[in-house]
Amino acid sequence: MELVINGYGACVRKKGNRFVIECDGDKKEISSEDVDQIIICDSAMLSTSALACASEKGIDVVVMTNYGKPRCRVIPTDFGKVSEVRRCQLIASQSEEGFEICRSIISAKITNISNLVFALSKTRENENLSYYSGIIKEYSREAEELSYKDGYEKLRGVEGAASSHYFSVLGNILPKNYYQGRRSQHPAADIFNSYLNYCYGILYNEVERACIYAGLDPWNGFMHADRAGRKSFVYDCIEQFRQPVIDRLVITMAVRGRFSPDDTDKSFLLTNSGRRKAAGETIARLDEDKLISGEKTTFRKEIQKNIRSLARSLTENREYNPLIYDWK
């Protein structure tokens, strides 16, 4: 399970083989054997014995920002063949191999966008949605035709055009009081983007964690430019997971009226209750049983499997297949 600490002033300490969480006079004990990750969303205190226990058990400890992204993390120090994986990653970042990986991820992302819009068209009396799905699909084909000589700038351009079209199309689906018809990040311009930003942050955390445990360097990106403090490779990898994991979830929350005015402040930053709702919904989505490529699994397991496969493709010259999700 993910142990989410979302109460200001909470305290986490170790007692035997258990974590003891105290907040607002309440106390709860959870076996360390049942915890995969500790996510801290507010100011909290962790004892050194609790941190040591987490390290020994391979439990990832993450402190999140108000936007849902990791601020810092405490992880075990032994990951096996890190040097070999990262050496191959560095070589790929400066060669055609890295471009082909990113091209396949972007093509998969755009296909996922097209598939999602088509799936949404089936439940709505809006013939234009199916038409838009076809238009977006063309961007995927355009991405597939790009070569290393075309460069990352053209690949980013195709991805940007497809995303812009997609977020415009969502204006035909989402309630007007939730969504202004465009993508907005920091700050968000509406509650839909507030949830999207925060839930993307939780997804980002999951992908970053998978990269670290696979021995990959989160900072050494291929397509996304290297920038101080920015884990560019995580941004490269996350693109294929956005629509299947997060977009469908937040769209469903919006159309079913599961947003509340109390979920955000006046700046459309999620409040404590909004963050709690976003975290709970996203974690449930990550752990929900799904049929992916004919196999019963979860998105969390699929992300870990996918990133390990990417690492092996770099070190063992294996074929890498990004996630293409088809809603049935």
Count of positions (residues) in the chain: 328
Could you read off the pLDDT of 235-250 as tens digits, one per residue?
A: 999 999 999 999 999 9
Could you read off the pLDDT of 147-184 as tens digits, one per residue?
A: 999 999 999 999 999 999 999 999 999 999 999 999 99
Could you read off the pLDDT of 20-48 as tens digits, one per residue?
A: 888 878 888 899 888 888 888 777 788 88
Query: In 10 A of CB 171, how many CB atoms?
Result: 12
Q: End-to-end distance of the chain based on CA atoms, in angstroms?
A: 28
Residues 111, 319, 286: CA angle, nearest 5 degrees = 50
Could you read off the pLDDT of 198-219 as tens digits, one per residue?
A: 999 999 999 999 999 899 999 9
CA 256 to chain centre: 22
Task: Identify whether the C-beta of residue 53 lies closer than 8 Å to the C-beta of residue 279.
Answer: no
Q: Domains along the chain?
A: 2-64 (3.100.10.20), 82-316 (1.20.120.920)
